[in-house]
Structure 1
Amino acid sequence: MSEAAVAVVGVIACLNLLISYGIIRRLREYDTRLAAVGGGGGLPPAQPLVGSRVPAFEATTIDGSAITDRDLVDGGVAVVGFFSTKCPPCREQLPRFVELVARRGYSSAITVVIDDSDDPADRLAAVEQSRHVSMVVVEAPGGAMAGAFGADRWPTMIAIKGRVVSANTHTAVELPQLTSA
């Protein structure tokens, strides 16, 4: 290899290092800015881990009925789905969640509608899709159920068997078909 080729490869390597350094510096700057506005850089907060106990909660359904963690876990397999009214993936996943709940016949199902939209029609659409197959709770972000389960990313769907979280997913198709036995 000629000296000119070695020099060209050396220059390219140096340019690559400078560009990489600039990118890393910029990413650190964005991470610092995101943390300063409350976006928390790094990994998202943990949601209920598979194998963890169902957290205590109290909520009121749209029908005015009080529900607690004890209602949810008595009698077999239960599912809880958290869906934001502003989130496009939630609009895609909610009908799939409703269909799975209807088809699989879980012993208990709760749809939590995170009402973060300015348009009441968004909330109404989510409620109407799910009220025939599950109990429906409407709450603000960080409400009683979302806070208890640590659900701050939507959609989130949780399967519970007994008093233990057996699945935690963001797509309905990944919800397991558990049996109560």
Structure 2
Amino acid sequence: MPILTAAVVLVGLLCVLDLLLSFGIIRRLREQNETLKNVQRNAAAQPEIALPAGATVGAFSATTVGGAELSTADIDGTRALVGFFSPNCTPCKERMPEFIEYATGFEGKVIAIAAGNEEETADMVVRLGEVAEVIREFDGGDVHQAFGASGYPALCVVEADRTVLASGWEMSALPVPAKL
């Protein structure tokens, strides 16, 4: 009889322990659900990665890797495609081929900004140089400020009057080339 009593007490204790663990798991799942909701809300409310549509591009002046001077005056009166890329950015590496393909069909000036030093951006400069005038500039430089670039990749299509037509970090944010 004492063995049976001990077994019933042991099973009862195991059930109570299981119940406590189940409550802990449920509480943790609820916390994770709230965290996920907050992340989704914050992602929807994130600031633009570049100037939003309708904004006007600020004044800038820079030198391309080829030594040519490039300024705000060079995009006045013509449509421009501008892309900001960083060598340490995985999404940049994924979007660069799409940007290059988009740029080949783009009618207007194409400018690419490689953020980093000469050694880091060497491969990027070569690839982007096939379709764009490339500027090597660190984050926070004149061109970054003029376009409000706050992350990478930042992509913009600018109208002839320096008004941003579309911007974003994915190519889908830009208009279809035929609609330009």
TM-score by length of 2: 0.70
Secondary structure of the residue that 1:168 maps to in structure 2?
Answer: strand
TM-score by length of 1: 0.69
Q: Which runs of 4+ in 1 moved over 6 A?
A: none
Q: How does 1:86-97 map to 2 (within 5 A)?
A: 86-97=88-99
Name the residue aligned to 1:135.
Answer: 133
RMSD: 3.1
Q: Considering fraction of residues, name the structure with more helix.
A: 2
Name the residue aligned to 1:165.
Answer: 164
| Pick aligned residue for 1:61 from 64, 74, 85 | 64
**1:74 CA displacement:** 2.2
Q: How does 1:57-136 map to 2 (within 5 A)?
A: 57-75=60-78, 77-102=79-104, 104-115=105-116, 120=119, 122-136=120-134
Q: Residues 64 and 70 of structure 2 are in contact (CA less than 8 Å); yes or no, is this contact kept in structure 1?
A: yes
**What is the percent sequence identity of the aligned residues?**
28
Secondary structure of the residue that 2:114 maps to in structure 1?
Answer: strand
**1:46 CA displacement:** 6.1
Name the residue aligned to 2:173.
Answer: 174
Structure 1 residues 105 and 46, CA gap change in structure 2 (3 angstroms):
closer
Residue 155 (structure 1) aligned with residue 157 (structure 2)? no
| Structure whose CA Rg is larger | 2
Q: How many residues align?
A: 148
Q: Residues 84 and 154 of structure 1 are in contact (CA less than 8 Å); yes or no, is this contact kept in structure 2?
A: yes
Give deviations 1:19-63, integer Å, cap 9, x for gaps: 64xx77xx9xxxxxxxxxxxxxx8447631110112111111001
Aligned residue identity for 1:161: E
Give deviations 1:47-90, integer Å, cap 9, x for gaps: 31110112111111001111111202322x21100001100110
